[in-house]
Amino acid sequence: MSATTQSPMVTTALAQAAAERGSQQEGILRYKDLLLMLIWRDIKIRYKQSIMGFFWAVLMPILIVGSGLIVMVVFSTISGHPINKLDVLSVAAKAVPWAFFVGAIRFGTNSLVANKELVTKIYFPRAIMPLASVLASFFDFVIAEAVLALVLVIARVGVSIQLLWFPVLLLVLMIFTAGLSLLLACANLFFRDVKYLVEVVLTYGIFFTPVFYSAGKLGKLGWILMLNPLGPILEGMGNALVLHQPLAVNWLLYAAAWSVALFLVAWKIFDKSEAAFAEAI
């Protein structure tokens, strides 16, 4: 043992180890298996009873499409225009990503507080928890999209070159959801009533997002719906999958800029406040 005389090599190694522990990015890479394991855990628990699990993935999109139908019937009665098959299907195409967003944000917001025991007892990069929640919800999304694809095939909607936008839109959606999830998980840890606020916003948020109707239906005020970064993403998905309409690239850029900025800011805030998690929780 050398209490005072320490070789320079050891000191360097110590400094290096300290630097490693500091950064969230490297931490996440080192803990990749943990991320995968937590995603697997969330999915496994939810799908333990496989039929209910599968239902869980499609239940919410079906409910959204159902309520969308009612809204459309009301509109059609008022305006006198008959309901179009493609409009209904485009609501479905937008309901699936919306359901993913709601699910991911709901689980993500609670992810740190729900794993209190881990946060106070064991060290690992905390960002893994909200990210795992988002990715576990993504699994539901994939199942719901598969069901949607089947419906679209049966309805003979067909495909077009616009479908190529879908992966880009999905990427932007993921970044936006992950960023918001990190931010809200962190906020909910410090202020426990954040989750109630989130619930309220998620419940009524659907009316401020073009899910039941397209932004165009609002006429000149349509741009208001597009200000919400989810607006261009969901509209884009409806266009790419069902309507085969060209995408509003400038709106997509707007949403992408928002998403990336949100993610970076959220990451920074999360990283800075992480040290205080164990005490504040």
Partner 1 sequence: MGHSGIQFSGVWKKFARGEKFDSLRDLIPSLVKYVVTGNHRGDLKAREFWALKDVSFDVQGQAMALIGPNGSGKSTALKLLSGILKPDRGDVHVHGRLGALIELGAGFHPDLTGRENIYLNGTILGMKKAEITRKFDEIVEFSGISEFIDTPVKRYSSGMYARLGFSVAAHIDPEVLLVDEVLSVGDYHFQQKCFDKMRDFVRRGTTLVFVSHNMAAVGSLCKTALLLKHGVPVFQGDVAGAIQKYYSFYEEETSNDNVELVDVRLSSTSGEEREVFEPGEGVVLEVKLKALQDLHNAHAALLIHTADGQLVFDTATSRLLDNRPLEMKKGKSATVKFALDMNLRSGVFLLGFNISSDIVVPGQYIYYNGCVKRVVMTREQKANGIVHLNPRAELTFG
Q: Which residues bind partner 1 (CB under 8 A)?
A: 1-3, 9-10, 13-15, 17-18, 21, 30-31, 33-34, 36-38, 41, 44-45, 48, 115, 117-124, 190-194, 197, 275-276, 278-280
Residue 141 burial by Cβ neighbours in a 10 Å radius (0-12, 13-18, 19+): buried
Q: State in angstroms the smallest separation of the CB of 281 from partner 1.
A: 9
Q: State in angstroms the smallest separation of the CB of 121 from partner 1.
A: 4
Q: State in angstroms the smallest separation of the CB of 127 from partner 1.
A: 14
Q: 112, 190 in Cβ contact below 8 A? A: no
Nearer to partner 1, 3 or 221 (CB): 3
Q: What share of the chain is helix, strand, coil (3-state, %, to 5)?
A: 85, 0, 15
Query: CA angle 160-171-194, nearest 5°?
Result: 130
Q: State in angstroms the smallest separation of the CB of 122 from partner 1.
A: 5
Q: 231, 210 in Cβ contact below 8 A? A: yes
Cα dihedral value 29, 35, 36, 42, nearest 10: -170
Nearer to partner 1, 111 or 259 (CB): 111
Nearer to partner 1, 122 or 161 (CB): 122
Q: State in angstroms the smallest separation of the CB of 278 from partner 1.
A: 5
> What are the C-alpha distances in Å from 192 to residues 40, 144, 148, 178, 196?
27, 31, 36, 20, 8
SS3 for 52?
helix
Nearer to partner 1, 125 or 236 (CB): 125
Nearer to partner 1, 41 or 81 (CB): 41
